[in-house]
Amino acid sequence: MEILMEFGSRFVSQLQSPTLAFLLGGILIAALGSRLTIPDAIYKFIVFMLLLKVGLKGGMAIGEADIGAMLLPAFFAVVVGCLTVIIGRYTLALLPGIRTEDGIATAGLFGAVSGSTLAAGTVVLESEGISYEPWAVALYPFMDIPALVLAIVLASVYLKKKDGTGDKVAIWPIVKESLQGPALSALLLGIALGLFTNPDRVFDTFYEPLFRGLLSVLMLIMGIEAYARLNELRRVAHWFAVYAAVAPLMNGLIAFGLGYIAHVLTGFSPGGVVLLAIIAGSSSDISGPPTLRAGIPTANPSSYIGSSTSIGTPVAIAIGIPLYIGLAQLVFGA
Amino acid sequence: MEILMEFGSRFVSQLQSPTLAFLLGGILIAALGSRLTIPDAIYKFIVFMLLLKVGLKGGMAIGEADIGAMLLPAFFAVVVGCLTVIIGRYTLALLPGIRTEDGIATAGLFGAVSGSTLAAGTVVLESEGISYEPWAVALYPFMDIPALVLAIVLASVYLKKKDGTGDKVAIWPIVKESLQGPALSALLLGIALGLFTNPDRVFDTFYEPLFRGLLSVLMLIMGIEAYARLNELRRVAHWFAVYAAVAPLMNGLIAFGLGYIAHVLTGFSPGGVVLLAIIAGSSSDISGPPTLRAGIPTANPSSYIGSSTSIGTPVAIAIGIPLYIGLAQLVFGA
Amino acid sequence: MEILMEFGSRFVSQLQSPTLAFLLGGILIAALGSRLTIPDAIYKFIVFMLLLKVGLKGGMAIGEADIGAMLLPAFFAVVVGCLTVIIGRYTLALLPGIRTEDGIATAGLFGAVSGSTLAAGTVVLESEGISYEPWAVALYPFMDIPALVLAIVLASVYLKKKDGTGDKVAIWPIVKESLQGPALSALLLGIALGLFTNPDRVFDTFYEPLFRGLLSVLMLIMGIEAYARLNELRRVAHWFAVYAAVAPLMNGLIAFGLGYIAHVLTGFSPGGVVLLAIIAGSSSDISGPPTLRAGIPTANPSSYIGSSTSIGTPVAIAIGIPLYIGLAQLVFGA
């Protein structure tokens, strides 16, 4: 009982943290009909800045890291990416009024990863004083790419069975498409620059100090966008909304469990476990949608983009992040 | 005599302050035909950043403020907003060659408030070491909304009298339109976030340090824009230019007088009096024009936007701000 | 031999500096097919910020400088601007498959100056702890304008001889066009504001701290752009690529030589000599192309823009800057 109350008060205090407050503020002003918008050029630049910074930091750390320790978490990231897509695909297939292609694409998007949510997670962890392996951010592609590949393969298999229209899926083009997307490109570029060059000074004077502030603006944009996409979601089956509210937390908890195993087996840090859960709970907002659009052209984008942007991401950030942190405090002690 | 000389030297030193220098620099390079422009996305983002910062600071302060002290200044802000529109409307009606609708819209825009000028005012006050009640920035909507509402009502009354085309004006839509505009939205969102959440860290590391610099860029943009709009103004009656040069200072001095009364009655600070005058001297540049365009569709935008952007705003910033500060030093002592 | 090895190791360490690393990173991800792009509005704003900062710093310094010392370097800047165009024009005329107009325009662009390269040069010099006369940045227009004017005059003379179509060239419009371009405007505005106003505080809190970081983003953009333009260059004669690889270094070394003479005669600093070489080695990327397009309308922009952006600028930054610094250490001692 006391634990629940502590959990509750911690949750309310998280809602007052800038990261979540700006997200909710964005939803609120959009709901009140505000015409405030942040130009798209600014949005794209902020996403670039955040992912480059996350990558730079990861890259500088990987240089000094014990790469062996990364193997099990990376393997679990692949497992989570695949498992969440499979669970999502067959869960959505059971629900009424959902076209199978739409369900597969939605499961793929929720299995894939959001760089913005990852950035938000690192800021909340740092604010809470919870440390994590700096290379943990590099788990992103290990979860993101398998999820997108698997979703497109599953869709192709289904379509071939149904009416023979599904093509044989070439996997490498999907992997390439993911790696070339702006989000993963920025992250990997940052890792490479952090690993092979000396960006310390420009990191300390530019990317690091601007990170929290730019993230607050990004959260505001994502809140505004979440509300704007609700209308799109209203036009598709309501079960998408239910899935979008439940899947981020379910996916996050699966990753938390596997992360816990890695903690026991190889000493993966509690902060790393939380970050793995945050990554798993997120749904792709930048690179995933165009990849799925190209890979499953018959799926209706309103279903998967609507459910991810308008419900999945707010749930992943505003409920998921505090949930995994609270859980870590229960499981690993204060 | 000595006072005048001191006032003059203070004025020249103000022109060298970055805020005014960038404004004049923008006018100058535009006059010299430079093709330098700052992209519109950057302009919109800067305005958002400045107003959010002004709001955050106000919101954080309101939490600790004696709200009772705000009542009289807020009431006077409403009075100034209405009074300046009425004076402007009947002054412009007396001048030759001015269509009454154009005159009413112009009076409304000069009665309304500019967030950019407000931001510039806070920077100049802080540079001069003049403190003011942090909630004073929240006086903005108390002046802005009544001014726009009243202008649209006056135009409707006039048009109905003239030829029966004026509709019955519903006031709430105008209030809502104002509150939902990007400038007031950003300010009020900032106030709400400052009041109900803990944005101290992101404020101290991002919004506060970038404020002066972003303002300098905004001033440059406004200077370039002021010169560009001069051509528009040339196509309308010259009396608009005369009004645009005089009204900001007259409106500011009226507010200074009422602010002085609030100082005597309730101890409103000298800095607060100056800020009230700066707000009153400004003319709306972001939210006002579209509201008036929708509310008084028969008025010619070249008249009110041209006079406000090309003459009103430069006068309000470059002459008004130093004038009220100088006046405050005369009235309230060094 | 030892000197060569030291030079080599210094060169490799320069490639790890953020300035060059981001440039090469941009080329690399573009070559790997990444869809990462930085919006054009951000690019334009960054260029403005960097040149304004370079100008502000120069302007603040000129106020305290001995202007007499500037005369000889400024004269040499004019000489370099003209000499490099003449050498380029007649060299390109000797090469097979190159239309003379295209050759003249290319020589003009390589004689003109790039503000981005200048900004990169100042950062590298500061990182290396090499000081230079702060007014040296003001040498930019003394080289840039004569180069563009001369190229347009040479093209006109050639066209008149050939078929009588070349008009009599009015020089003042080209000078004006150059001065009004966004790059020179921003630089000169910065110099004026630094010279006549007190921008210290906004410089120290905004323009200076953001400089390195914004430059790193600009280098990334230029790298991406360089790769993207390679295709354009492939469609024109291959000799353009050879010229583009050699001309920056040749032009830089000519300027280095003249700068050395100024060092001996008037004590021009070693850092100033390097900066003069960097300016001379750069080719105009912002203001030059539109000026040449207007001034030599029959020249094919793919030839001069392609060779400058895709080869000239990367060579000028990644090879030129370390080369002149190494040379200065040989010539002037450690």
The residue that leads in pLDDT, A311 or A3, is: A311
B234 in contact with A, Cβ within 8 Å: no
In angstroms, what CA-CA distances link A90 with A107, A151, A238?
9, 12, 17
Distance of CA B60 to the CA centre of its chain: 22
Q: Which tokens sit at A118?
A: 């990852």
DSSP A32: T
Contacts of B37 in chain C (CB under 8 A): 44, 182
Q: What is the pLDDT of residues A8-22, one digit of tens each?
A: 776 777 777 788 899
* Degrees, nearest 5: CA angle C140-C145-C149: 160
Residue spans of alpha helices (H) in chain B: 2-15, 18-31, 40-62, 71-94, 100-111, 115-127, 140-163, 171-180, 182-196, 200-202, 208-234, 239-266, 270-281, 288-295, 301-307, 313-314, 321-332
Q: What is the pLDDT of residue B233?
A: 83
- Give the SS3 label for residue A260: helix
Alpha-carbon gap, residue B67 to C237, rounded angstroms: 75
Residue spans of alpha helices (H) in chain A: 2-15, 18-31, 40-62, 68-94, 100-111, 115-127, 140-163, 171-180, 182-196, 200-202, 208-234, 239-266, 270-281, 288-295, 301-307, 313-314, 321-332
Alpha-carbon gap, residue A247 to A290, rounded angstroms: 21
DSSP B87: H
Cβ–Cβ below 8 Å for B16 and C197: yes
Q: What is the pLDDT of residues B213-247, one digit of tens each?
A: 999 999 999 999 999 988 888 888 789 999 999 99
Q: What is the pLDDT of residue A236?
A: 80
B78 in contact with A, Cβ within 8 Å: no
pLDDT for residue C46 is more than 80 = yes
DSSP C67: G
Residues 98-127, chain B, touching C (beta carbon < 8 A): 127
Which amino acid belongs to residue C297?
P
Q: How many CB atoms lie within 10 A of CB A5?
A: 9
The mean per-residue pLDDT over the stretch C65-78 comes to 90
A44 in contact with B, Cβ within 8 Å: no
Q: What is the pLDDT of residue B334?
A: 54
A35 closest CB neighbour out of B45, B180, B199: B180
B207 in contact with A, Cβ within 8 Å: yes
pLDDT for residue B7 is more than 80 = no
Rg (CA), chain B: 19
Listed ranges A236-245, C266-275, C288-297; the one with the highest mean pLDDT: C266-275
Alpha-carbon gap, residue C87 to A192, rounded angstroms: 41
Q: Of C239, C228, C248, nearest to C318 (Cα)?
A: C248
In angstroms, what CA-CA distances link B78 with A53, B82, C29?
47, 6, 57
Span of A128-132, B106-110, B237-241 with lowest mean pLDDT: B237-241
List chains touching B (3+ CB pairs under 8 A): A, C
- Give the SS3 label for residue B56: helix
Best of A174, A177, A179, A193 to mutate (most C CBs within 10 Å, chain C):
A193
* Degrees, nearest 5: CA angle B286-B288-B291: 120
Q: What is the pLDDT of residues C128-142, one digit of tens each?
A: 899 999 899 999 999
Contacts of B127 in chain C (CB under 8 A): 201
Q: Which tokens sit at B324?
A: 């009220």
For chain B, the distance separating the N- and C-terminal CA atoms, rounded to the nearest angstrom, is: 17
Phi then psi dihedrals of residue A326, to 5 deg? -60, -45
- Write a three-state SS string for C260-282: HHHHHHHCCCHHHHHHHHHHHHC
pLDDT for residue B330 is more than 80 = yes
Q: Of A53, A63, A62, A27, nearest to A219 (Cα)?
A: A27
List chains touching A (3+ CB pairs under 8 A): B, C
Angle between helices B270-281 and B140-163 in degrees, nearest 10: 30
| Tokens 């112009």 belong to residue | B106
Q: What is the pLDDT of residue B244?
A: 95
Q: What is the pLDDT of residue B166?
A: 62
Alpha-carbon gap, residue B88 to B251, rounded angstroms: 9
The mean per-residue pLDDT over the stretch C253-273 comes to 96
Alpha-carbon gap, residue C291 to C147, rounded angstroms: 11
Alpha-carbon gap, residue A96 to B220, rounded angstroms: 58
In angstroms, what CA-CA distances link C120 with A196, A220, C219, C258?
20, 34, 8, 22
Q: How many CB atoms lie within 10 A of CB C64?
A: 8
B25 closest CB neighbour out of C41, C189, C207: C189
Residue B224 and residue B27 in contact, taking contact as beta carbons nearer than 8 Å: yes
Best of A185, A195, A196, A291 to mutate (most C CBs within 10 Å, chain C):
A185
Distance of CA B83 to the CA centre of its chain: 15
Q: Which tokens sit at A113?
A: 């990863």
Q: Which tokens sit at A316?
A: 């992943």
The mean per-residue pLDDT over the stretch C142-151 comes to 94
Q: What is the pLDDT of residues C176-216, one digit of tens each?
A: 888 898 988 999 999 999 999 989 889 999 999 999 999 99
> What is the distance in angstroms between the Cα of C252 and the nearest Cα belonging to chain B?
28
Q: Which tokens sit at C14?
A: 């320069």
- Give the SS3 label for residue C38: coil
pLDDT for residue A260 is more than 90 = yes
The mean per-residue pLDDT over the stretch B63-70 comes to 81
Q: What is the pLDDT of residue A160?
A: 85
Q: How many CB atoms lie within 10 A of CB B30?
A: 22
Q: Which tokens sit at A266?
A: 């190889």
Residue A11 and residue A205 in contact, taking contact as beta carbons nearer than 8 Å: no
B160 in contact with C, Cβ within 8 Å: no
DSSP B139: G
The mean per-residue pLDDT over the stretch B163-170 comes to 72
Q: What is the pLDDT of residue C67?
A: 78
Polymer length in residues for chain A: 334
- A19 CB-near residues (< 8 Å, 6+ apart): A120, A123, A124, A127, A215, A216, A219, A317, A321
Q: What is the percent of chain B where pLDDT is above 70? A: 96
Exposure b/e, B40-76, CB count within 10 A at least 16 = b: ebbbbbbbbbbbbbbbbbbbbbbeeeeeebbebbbeb
Q: Which tokens sit at B162?
A: 């003239």
Residue spans of alpha helices (H) in A33-135: 40-62, 68-94, 100-111, 115-127
B205 closest CB neighbour out of A15, A36, A213: A213
Residue B135 and residue B58 in contact, taking contact as beta carbons nearer than 8 Å: yes
B198 in contact with A, Cβ within 8 Å: yes
Contacts of B39 in chain C (CB under 8 A): 40-41, 44-45
Banded model confidence at residue B3, pLDDT cuts 50, 70, 90: low
Cβ–Cβ below 8 Å for A29 and B189: yes
- A64 CB-near residues (< 8 Å, 6+ apart): none
Cβ–Cβ below 8 Å for C202 and B212: yes
**Which pTM was predicted?**
0.90
The mean per-residue pLDDT over the stretch A54-80 comes to 89
C33 closest CB neighbour out of A180, A197, A210: A180
Count how many pairs of residues, chain A against chain B, have C-beta atoms within 8 Å: 76
Cβ–Cβ below 8 Å for C205 and B213: yes
Cβ–Cβ below 8 Å for B32 and C198: no
| Tokens 């005058």 belong to residue | B277
Q: What is the pLDDT of residues A87-127, one digit of tens each?
A: 999 999 999 889 999 999 999 999 999 999 999 999 999 98
Banded model confidence at residue A3, pLDDT cuts 50, 70, 90: low
Q: Say if residue C193 is exposed, middle or buried (CB neighbours under 10 Å; 0-12, 13-18, 19+).
A: buried
Q: What is the pLDDT of residue C166?
A: 62
Q: What is the pLDDT of residue A198?
A: 87
pLDDT for residue A334 is more than 60 = no
A231 in contact with C, Cβ within 8 Å: no
B289 in contact with A, Cβ within 8 Å: no
Residue A271 and residue A130 in contact, taking contact as beta carbons nearer than 8 Å: yes
Banded model confidence at residue C232, pLDDT cuts 50, 70, 90: confident
A35 in contact with B, Cβ within 8 Å: yes
Span of A1-15, B90-104, C204-218 with lowest mean pLDDT: A1-15
Residue B288 and residue B109 in contact, taking contact as beta carbons nearer than 8 Å: yes
Q: How many CB atoms lie within 10 A of CB A117?
A: 25
- Which chain B residue is nearest to residue A13, measuring alpha carbons? B197
- Cα-Cα-Cα-Cα dihedral sign, residues C33, A187, C49, B282: positive
- Which chain A residue is nearest to residue B199, measuring alpha carbons? A18
List chains touching C (3+ CB pairs under 8 A): A, B
pLDDT for residue B169 is more than 80 = no
A180 closest CB neighbour out of C35, C38, C216: C35
Residue B49 and residue B215 in contact, taking contact as beta carbons nearer than 8 Å: no
Residue spans of alpha helices (H) in C16-39: 18-31
> What is the distance in angstroms between the Cα of C204 and the nearest Cα belonging to chain B?
10
Which amino acid belongs to residue B46?
I
Residue C86 and residue C284 in contact, taking contact as beta carbons nearer than 8 Å: no
Q: What is the mean pLDDT of chain B?
A: 90
Q: What is the pLDDT of residues A94-105, one digit of tens each?
A: 998 899 999 999
> What is the distance in angstroms between the Cα of B24 and the nearest Cα belonging to chain C?
10
Count how many pairs of residues, chain B against chain C, have C-beta atoms within 8 Å: 77
Banded model confidence at residue C168, pLDDT cuts 50, 70, 90: confident
Cβ–Cβ below 8 Å for A214 and B199: no
Banded model confidence at residue C334, pLDDT cuts 50, 70, 90: low
Cβ–Cβ below 8 Å for A182 and C32: no
B35 closest CB neighbour out of C41, C185, C192: C185
Q: Of B287, B225, B240, B279, nearest to B79 (Cα)?
A: B279
> What is the distance in angstroms between the Cα of C66 and the nearest Cα belonging to chain A?
33
- Which chain C residue is nearest to residue A41, measuring alpha carbons? C39
Exposure b/e, C244-258, CB count within 10 A at least 16 = b: beebbbbbbbbbbeb
Q: What is the pLDDT of residue C265?
A: 95
Which amino acid belongs to residue C63?
G
